[in-house]
Amino acid sequence: MRFDGKTVFITGAGSGLGRAAATRFADEGATVVAADLDLEGAEETIDRLEADGRAIELDVRDADAVQAAIDETVETFGLDVVVNNAGVSHDRARVEEIDLTERDRILDVNVAGVWNGCRAAIPHLTEQGSGAIVNTASLAGVIGAPQLGAYSLSKGAVVNFTRTVAAEVGPHGVRANAVCPGVTDTPMPRKNRSEEEWAATKSEMARHYPLKRLGRPEDVAGAMAFLASDDAAWVTGHALVVDGGFSCC
């Protein structure tokens, strides 16, 4: 298995893409540290795994807390892969209608959170001369998304920041890549929708994808695992679009 004997630290692991990533890495032999602001969700993720792991409560906006969590992971398990996945979105609105407090919330989680995760992990990974960072961006960070201006801004920043990190850590044997999902069936797009509303919305949106369905969390988790694995040993600074062909159209 590709991650036998390796430790993977994942933020936003209490649900959605983070939980799917934790499951995929654990299935491939990894010890998983599942971090989330929702400790109960992180604990549920770990309980579902048939592998060693630990759940921790973590607010990725808190740089000191992220540093402490990474340091403790290194001391307890070692560290091989960091998946900076925690993220939030906002209600659809035009740029001039988005409240500045809401904009700052998005940037604090989606941008500063990724920065904090990379900043905390890089010294450990570069010192050992190996490791991989996978940052969760979005298709919205590559092509933009009308009425999701703050979200698009944050995810575009993640894409370019990942390239910068890759250039800096590459000489030390460490890789950094981003995964850019299209709309995926997770709690984020389901927010404020009933099951019936979401089923109708999902069906309508799927018409615009060549593969005629939205993404599943497992689709993105597979891409994350690829980017973190030795199968991607010569891939760094890349923004891997996983969108069912939406950007082709």
**Which residue has 């959605």 as its token pair?**
16
Q: Give the C-alpha distances (Å, rounded to integers) separating 83 from 56, 170, 177, 246.
A: 15, 17, 10, 24
Query: φ and ψ at 86, to 5 degrees?
Result: -55, 135
Beta-bridge partner residues of 54? 33
Residue found under tokens 């996978």 = 134
Check residue 183 and report its DSSP letter. Answer: S
| Whole-number Å distance between alpha carbons of 58 and 4 | 26
Q: Is 203 left (phi over 0), alpha (psi -120 to 50) or beta?
A: alpha
The residue from 3, 77, 151, 226 that is catalytic is 151
Tokens 């799927």 belong to 206
151 is an active site residue: yes
- Say if residues 31 and 52 touch (Cβ distance below 8 Å): yes
* Burial class of 199 by CB neighbour count within 10 A (0 to 12, 13 to 18, 19+): exposed
Supply the residues annotated as catalytic.
151
